[in-house]
Structure 1
Amino acid sequence: MKLVPQHFAPLARGLHWAMAVMLLAMLFIGAGMVASVSERHVWLLNVHKPLGIALLALAVVRLCVRLGTRQPPLPADLPMPQALAAKCSHGLLYALMLILPVLGWAMVSAAGDPVTLAPGVQLPALLAANAGTFALLRKTHGYLAYLLFLTVLLHLAAALYHGLIRRDGVLRSMASGR
């Protein structure tokens, strides 16, 4: 008989918190980037691209860790609609963490620009340059970024609900290994 884990694996917790910080930074950098017409726009863009690729790589690692480790179960007394919402929102978070960077990479490719990770290190274009494709991908990338931001806020609200109101150990299972 295997013991039911009470906490997420240390690697899963580390990836969760590192990516949480990076995702929030990415969302705010993206918002500042599209709102700026100053010289900061280029600087923000040059931070946004490699950060997006780093998040894509970490999302793949995180998904592998998630599939390769056991997670603590949701509380047995959690109402079914809340349990379903938790599962669906986690699925949506993983999907968006994988889709948004690839979509951004494709968008930049369609713009005819390189995705530069470091001086002299560029990723290959995913698509040929095409203004119409760029416009469609840019709009889609923006809408999905808003959806990610909303999903992150709901995830945070649920974590606080579990930690401060229900006090059922769900937040503690990701916050610490104790």
Structure 2
Amino acid sequence: MSNALGRFAPIQRLLHWLMAACIIAMLFIGVGMVSTVAPKYLPLILIHKTLGVTLLVLVVIRLALRLHYGAPPLPADLLPAIKLGARLSHLLLYASMIVMPLLGLGMLWAAAYPVVLYGGIQIPALLPQSDHVHTLLWNAHAFLGFAFFALVLLHLAAALFHALIRHDGVFATITPLPRRTDEARRMSPRSTPGRRAIRE
């Protein structure tokens, strides 16, 4: 299905910004978790787990929507290397958003730690208790967290590059705000032939 006006579908744009807010919260909460032993640690880990599972569900939905709606094409004059980098970075972002929560869940299961979310929802363990596996998954989760943070910064830099330097409309394809089409601009009162004739 094609994208109207060369933009992502409204539901895709909504999910993008909702997930962006969740990811930023997750990153800050993750930093707070590893830097405190105060009583607020337990509420932080509860929020972290709930957001992690929520993001896992949302990214699966988002991938399904991407397959259904597709994505607007990148500008034709964009360098091939930049196009390749954009595709690879998006693939890595999607992969990270899937692997990160799975590593977190596996880490908790391997530590025999109950995965209880907000509302008392409990996810049953799918891995046996193992200190060795827990250590491996913890290290992988921590390492991927730093790599994911770097990917998010790269994604943000690319968005600013398109929005503030190239002005090529790429950022407008995902912005939640409505975008006026060229036809609408041509039909606006300020650009009608009659108005131009009067001014002349």
> After TM superposition, is the score higher than 0.5?
yes
Equivalent residue, structure 2, for 1:31? 31
Distance in 1 of aligned mates of 2:33 and 2:78: 40
- Report the Cα offset of residue 114 of structure 1: 1.1
Tell me if 1:74 matches 2:74: yes
In the alignment of these two chains, the number of paired residues is: 177
- Report the Cα offset of residue 43 of structure 1: 1.4
Measured against aligned partners, the alpha-carbon deviations of 1:20-62 in whole angstroms (never above 9, x if no partner) come to 0000100110111011111111111111111100000001001
- Report the Cα offset of residue 5 of structure 1: 4.7
Distance in 2 of aligned mates of 1:41 and 1:123: 20
Amino acid at match of 1:102: L
Identity %: 48
Larger RCO (alpha carbons 8 Å, 6+ apart): 1
Equivalent residue, structure 2, for 1:98? 98
- Report the Cα offset of residue 121 of structure 1: 1.9
Equivalent residue, structure 2, for 1:157? 157
Report matched runs for 1:116-131 at 5 Å. Answer: 116-131=116-131
Measured against aligned partners, the alpha-carbon deviations of 1:116-140 in whole angstroms (never above 9, x if no partner) come to 1234420011211111111110010
Tell me if 1:45 matches 2:45: yes
Distance in 2 of aligned mates of 1:105 and 1:50: 11
TM-score by length of 2: 0.85
Equivalent residue, structure 2, for 1:7? 7
Equivalent residue, structure 2, for 1:137? 137
Q: CA contact under 8 A between 1:100 and 1:144: conserved in structure 2?
A: yes
Distance in 1 of aligned mates of 2:77 and 2:89: 19
Amino acid at match of 2:54: A
Distance in 2 of aligned mates of 1:63 and 1:3: 16
Equivalent residue, structure 1, for 2:186? none
Amino acid at match of 1:161: F
Relative distance call for 1:4 and 1:79 in structure 2 (3 A) is: farther
Unpaired runs of 5+ in structure 2?
180-200
Relative distance call for 1:3 and 1:42 in structure 2 (3 A) is: closer
Q: CA contact under 8 A between 2:15 and 2:58: conserved in structure 1?
A: yes
Q: CA contact under 8 A between 2:46 and 2:118: conserved in structure 1?
A: no
How well do the aligned residues superpose, as a CA RMSD in angstroms? 1.4
Relative distance call for 1:170 and 1:129 in structure 2 (3 A) is: same
TM-score by length of 1: 0.95
